[in-house]
Structure 1
Amino acid sequence: MAHPVMYDDDNPHLVRLRALVLAYPGAEEYVSHGRPNFRVKKNFVVFGGSERLGPGEHRQVDSALMVKVEEAEQAALDEDERFFVPAYLGAFGWRALDLAAPGTDWDEVAELVDASYRLTAPKRMIAALDAGGIGPG
């Protein structure tokens, strides 16, 4: 049974995120579990998700940016009230930020996306990014 679509393609946060993410070498978008996922061999960004609040209890965050985070950075993000540990992926080093929250810093979003890309992309794609002229400015 296919998952229902859980996002609006015209969501302004998704539109802005999509432009940022798809500028990376080899990045592609696909829908999984009803949400936009972005990958280069492996996922490095997911748009939308949920936070587990307790047994059988979740909070949906439709404008969440979910990214893979270095282990050394996880504790700092866990202390920041703007971030949450997403259900299912949190145990694998992912953290999430609600892009719809007031005062979202898109420079910080770009840094999170970049770090997640570098954790998951093949070395040749990272080299292409570092060579300049490709990816976000």
Structure 2
Amino acid sequence: MSHPIMFDDADAALQRIREISLAFPGAAERVSHGRPNFFTTKTFCYYGGSERGDHVGARHDTAILFRPDPADEPALRQDGRFWEPAYLWPAGWLGVDLAAAGGVDRGGVDWDEVAELIDASYRVTAPKRLVRELDALSGRGSG
């Protein structure tokens, strides 16, 4: 069964998420369950989703869903902006609605924070060789 497309390709926030996500080594994009997701061997970021327990129609179309760094997860869970996404929450995923977190339309999104969340999710999900490549590119490598 095919899922309906639940995003607008011209969405400025999606374009920014693409820019951030596709800059990671080995990253690609595909549409799954009607929404863009960014992956290497595993998905590290979804664009759009719904909260755990939401009913049909309660969507967050300008949200990112991500796997937080385990060290940051407790603090993120205490921040009211973050929520457990439907279906993904048992695996430790969180969501944040960009519209609610500062306003996509008003230019209030903290894109540095969004990039940090996506970076952490990439590091949790990507193969170690790609994380080493990222570290080498960003100068974070050990040595």
- TM-score, length basis structure 1: 0.89
Q: Deviations over 1:2-34 (max 9, x none)?
A: 000000001111000100100000000000000
Q: How does 1:44-55 map to 2 (within 5 A)?
A: 44-53=44-53
Alignment of 1:1-137 (within 5 A): 1-53=1-53, 56=55, 59-101=58-100, 102=102, 103-132=108-137
Which consecutive unaligned segments of at least 5 residues does structure 1 have?
none
Cα distance change of structure 1 residues 34 and 57 upon mapping to structure 2, 3 Å threshold? closer
State TM-score, norm by structure 2. 0.86
When residues 58 and 88 of structure 1 are mapped into structure 2, their CA distance, relative to the original with a 3 A threshold, is: farther
Shift of 1:91: 1.3
Q: What do residues 49-71 of structure 1 show as CA deviations (whole Å, max 9, x unaligned)? A: 001346x5672100110001234
Q: Detail structure 1 runs of 4+ shifted over 6 Å in the superposition.
A: none
Give the whole-Å Cα distance in 2 for the aligned partners of 1:98 and 1:2: 25
Conserved? CA contact 1:65–1:99, under 8 Å? yes
Q: Which has the higher contact order (CA 8 A, sep 6+)?
A: 1
Q: Which deviations, in whole Å up to 9, do the C-alpha atoms of 1:47-96 show, x marking residues without a partner?
A: 00001346x56721001100012344322112111111111101111001
Report the secondary structure of 1:64's partner residue.
Answer: strand
User: Given residue 114 of structure 1, which amino acid in structure 2 is its aligned partner?
Assistant: D
Aligned partners of 1:52 and 1:58 also within 8 Å: no
Q: Is the 8 A contact 1:26 1:125 kept in 2?
A: yes
What SS does the aligned partner of 2:2 have? coil
For 1:52 and 1:30, the matched residues in 2 are separated by 23
> Aligned residue for 2:105?
none
Structure that is richer in strand per residue:
1
* Cα RMSD, aligned residues only: 1.8
SS of residue in 2 equivalent to 1:87: coil
Could you tell me how far 1:109 is from its partner in structure 2?
Answer: 0.6
User: For structure 2, which runs of at least 5 residues remain unmatched after alignment?
Assistant: 103-107
Aligned residues: 133
